[in-house]
Amino acid sequence: MVKGEKLDEVSVAQQLAYYRSQQKLYHGESFGAIIGYKENGAIIHYHPEKGKCKTIHPEGILLVDSGGQYSDGTTDITRTFALSNPTPEQKKSYTLIMKGMIGLSMARFPDGTAGAQLDTFARQYLWAEGMNYGHGTGHGVGFFLNVHEPPQGFAPVHSERGRTLHLPGMLTSNEPGYYKEGEFGMRIENLILGVQSDIKGFMEFETVTLYPLEHTLIDKSRLTKEEIKWINDYHKKVYSGISPLLSGDVKLWFKEKCKKM
């Protein structure tokens, strides 16, 4: 039971699809939602099945990766939620993932830079703690097309995603993660758009996904002043973009989610 309502992983996926179906220009889900509760979240490409999935309780970690197809674009977002007070290990893991996501989001790089070079921005803080994740950091996303749209991405050099150069106009996912087998899985995913920098011969990224991060999982002591500023600026952008669509208690809840650190 979560806040008095009995939910399992499949029902969460169904509810997400229902809410999206109420939006204009919606055509369907861009992929089968990955809803991983507790140890199921550590299975990277887990898909819940009715009768075999977990019931969700107000405790532990929940990973939600989903997206929709719209006439004006394709979405893909992942967020990790703490359903109870997180452990120090969980806060450390989430914070290191988030630092990597921010590092890649803030990257400025010369024209002609490939995905493998940029992939390291997202892994560096996990690597420093002897941690890693067994998937690429990101994939291309089509425009009302494939949610996994080649050729670009962020991945090791031996792959197409790793070899492909990033160009202005490319939309790519930024999704580092960490998975502790048998216990929990975490991932944070935003979509980022390649844009020309104001410095000639350089590029950077614009984050286009608007949804807050999980404050209760953030260990502020591990963050730099620059990272804290990025989070506050991001949450300000999220609230400005989404709050006009909300009202009442939902708007108040969302304001709390976007609070300043």
How do beta strands 202-207 and 108-110 pair? antiparallel
Q: What is the pLDDT of residues 39-60, one digit of tens each?
A: 999 999 899 999 999 999 999 9
Question: What is the band of 3 on the pLDDT scale with cuts at 50, 70, 90?
Answer: low
The helix/strand/coil state of 23 is coil
Question: What is the band of 2 on the pLDDT scale with cuts at 50, 70, 90?
Answer: low
Hey, how many other C-beta atoms are within 10 angstroms of the C-beta on 67?
21
- What CA–CA distance (Å, rounded) separates 190 from 14? 22
- What CA–CA distance (Å, rounded) separates 29 from 81? 21
Q: Is residue 88 pLDDT above 80, yes or no?
A: yes
Question: What is the band of 158 on the pLDDT scale with cuts at 50, 70, 90?
Answer: confident
- What CA–CA distance (Å, rounded) separates 119 from 110? 15
pLDDT computed for residue 89 by the predictor: 98
- What CA–CA distance (Å, rounded) separates 2 from 6? 6
pLDDT computed for residue 6 by the predictor: 82
Residue of 152, 174, 192, 194 lying closest to 101 (CA atoms): 174
- What CA–CA distance (Å, rounded) separates 9 from 77? 17
Placement of tokens 């803080």 in the chain: 125
- Among left, alpha and beta (phi > 0; psi -120 to 50; other), residue 63 is beta
> What is the amino acid identity at position 78?
T
